[in-house]
A and B are shown apart, each in its own frame.
Chain A
Amino acid sequence: MTLLLALAIGVLYAAGTYLLLRRSAIRVVFGLALLGYASNLLVFTAGRLSREGPPIVPEGAVAAAATSADPLPQALVLTAIVIGFGVQAFALVLLKRTCQEAGTDDVDAMREEG
Chain B
Amino acid sequence: MNTLLVLPLLVPLATAAATILLARSPRAVRTASFAGAAASLGAAVALLGATRDGTILVTQAGAWEAPFGISLVADRFAAAMVLVAALLLAAVVVSSIRGLDGARERAGYHPLLHVLSMGVSGAFLTGDLFNLYVWFEVMLMSSFVLVSLGGERAQLQGALKYVVLNLVSSALFLAGAGLLYGSIGTLNMAGAAVALRELPAQGLPSVVASLFLLAFGIKAAAFPLFFWLPASYHTPPMPVAALFAGLLTKVGVYALVRVLTLVFVRDTAFTGPLLLAVAALTMVTGVLGAMAQGDVRKILSFHIVSQIGYMLMGLGLGTRLALAGTVFYVLHHIVVKANLFLVAGAMRRAGGSFSLEKLGSLLARSPLLAAAFLVPAVSLAGLPPLSGFWAKYLLVRAGLEAGNGTIVAVSLAVSLLTLFSMTKIWNEAFWKPAPAGAGAAPAPLSAAERASLLGPVLVLGAITVAIGLGAGVLYRFADAAAAQLLDPELYVRAVLGARGGGT
B433 within 8 Å of A (CB atoms): no
Tell which of A39, A43, A72, A98 touches B160, judged by Cβ atoms closer than 8 Å. A98
Tell which of B137, B164, B177 touches A83, judged by Cβ atoms closer than 8 Å. B137
Cα A98 to Cα B156 with chains together (Å): 5
User: A residues within 8 A CB of B171?
Assistant: 16, 32, 35-36, 38-39
B181 within 8 Å of A (CB atoms): yes
A54 within 8 Å of B (CB atoms): no
Question: Is B156 a contact of A35 with CB atoms below 8 Å?
Answer: no
- Residue with the highest number of chain B CB atoms closer than 10 Å, among A73, A86, A87, A98: A98
Contact with A along B143-187 (1 / 0, CB 8 A): 011001001111011011001100110111011011101100101
A13 and chain B: residue at smallest CB distance = B175
User: A residues within 8 A CB of B182?
Assistant: 45-47, 73
Question: Is B160 a contact of A46 with CB atoms below 8 Å?
Answer: no
Contact with B along A77-114 (1 / 0, CB 8 A): 00110010011001100110110011000010010011
Tell which of B140, B168, B185 touches A35, judged by Cβ atoms closer than 8 Å. B168
Question: Is B167 a contact of A73 with CB atoms below 8 Å?
Answer: no
User: B residues within 8 A CB of A101?
Assistant: 151, 153, 156-157
User: A residues within 8 A CB of B185?
Assistant: 70
Question: Is B167 a contact of A97 with CB atoms below 8 Å?
Answer: no
Interface residues of A in 41-95 (CB under 8 A from B): 42-47, 70, 72-73, 76, 79-80, 83, 86-87, 90-91, 94-95
Cα A97 to Cα B145 with chains together (Å): 13
Question: Is A38 a contact of B175 with CB atoms below 8 Å?
Answer: yes
Cα A62 to Cα B94 with chains together (Å): 55
Shortest B61–chain A CB gap in Å is 14
A-B pair number, CB within 8 angstroms: 103
B370 within 8 Å of A (CB atoms): no
Question: Is A114 a contact of B141 with CB atoms below 8 Å?
Answer: no
User: B residues within 8 A CB of A80?
Assistant: 133, 174
Cα A29 to Cα B170 with chains together (Å): 14
B130 within 8 Å of A (CB atoms): yes
Contact status of A42 and B175, CB under 8 A, knowing A76-B130, A94-B148, A102-B153: yes
B186 and chain A: residue at smallest CB distance = A72
Question: Is B181 a contact of A73 with CB atoms below 8 Å?
Answer: yes
B134 within 8 Å of A (CB atoms): yes
Shortest B116–chain A CB gap in Å is 15
Query: Number of contact residues on A: which range applies?
Result: 35 or more
Tell which of B145, B159, B178 touches A98, judged by Cβ atoms closer than 8 Å. B159
Contact status of A113 and B174, CB under 8 A, knowing A46-B182, A87-B167, A94-B160: no
Question: Is B177 a contact of A114 with CB atoms below 8 Å?
Answer: no
Residues of A contacting B: mostly: helix
Question: Is B168 a contact of A110 with CB atoms below 8 Å?
Answer: no
User: A residues within 8 A CB of B133?
Assistant: 80
Contact with A along B123-135 (1 / 0, CB 8 A): 0000000100110
Cα A30 to Cα B163 with chains together (Å): 13
Question: Is A20 a contact of B168 with CB atoms below 8 Å?
Answer: yes
Question: Is B167 a contact of A91 with CB atoms below 8 Å?
Answer: yes
Question: Is A42 a contact of B157 with CB atoms below 8 Å?
Answer: no
- Residue with the highest number of chain B CB atoms closer than 10 Å, among A45, A79, A94, A114: A94
Contact with A along B21-37 (1 / 0, CB 8 A): 00000000000000000
Question: Is B160 a contact of A110 with CB atoms below 8 Å?
Answer: yes
Question: Is A25 a contact of B175 with CB atoms below 8 Å?
Answer: no
Question: Is B178 a contact of A113 with CB atoms below 8 Å?
Answer: no
Question: Is B178 a contact of A43 with CB atoms below 8 Å?
Answer: yes
Question: Is B141 a contact of A94 with CB atoms below 8 Å?
Answer: no
User: B residues within 8 A CB of A29?
Assistant: 164
Cα A80 to Cα B156 with chains together (Å): 26
Question: Is B163 a contact of A91 with CB atoms below 8 Å?
Answer: yes
Cα A40 to Cα B137 with chains together (Å): 15
Tell which of A20, A87, A102 touches B141, judged by Cβ atoms closer than 8 Å. A87
A98 and chain B: residue at smallest CB distance = B156
Tell which of B134, B153, B177 touches A43, judged by Cβ atoms closer than 8 Å. B177
Cα A42 to Cα B134 with chains together (Å): 17
Question: Is B156 a contact of A32 with CB atoms below 8 Å?
Answer: no
User: B residues within 8 A CB of A16?
Assistant: 171
> 22 pairs across A/B with beta carbons < 8 Å?
A25-B160, A32-B164, A32-B168, A35-B168, A39-B174, A42-B175, A43-B175, A43-B181, A44-B178, A45-B178, A47-B182, A70-B185, A87-B141, A87-B144, A90-B141, A94-B160, A95-B160, A98-B157, A101-B153, A102-B157, A110-B160, A114-B154
Instruction: Show the binding face of A for B, using Cβ within 8 Å.
Output: 16, 20, 25, 28-29, 32, 35-36, 38-40, 42-47, 70, 72-73, 76, 79-80, 83, 86-87, 90-91, 94-95, 97-98, 101-102, 107, 110, 113-114
| Minimum-distance CB pairs A-B, first 7 | A46-B182, A43-B178, A114-B153, A39-B174, A35-B171, A113-B154, A98-B156
Given A42-B175, A46-B182, A87-B144, 20 more pairs with CB closer than 8 A: A16-B171, A20-B168, A32-B167, A36-B170, A38-B171, A39-B174, A40-B174, A42-B178, A43-B177, A45-B182, A46-B179, A46-B181, A73-B178, A79-B130, A90-B145, A91-B163, A94-B156, A98-B160, A102-B153, A110-B160
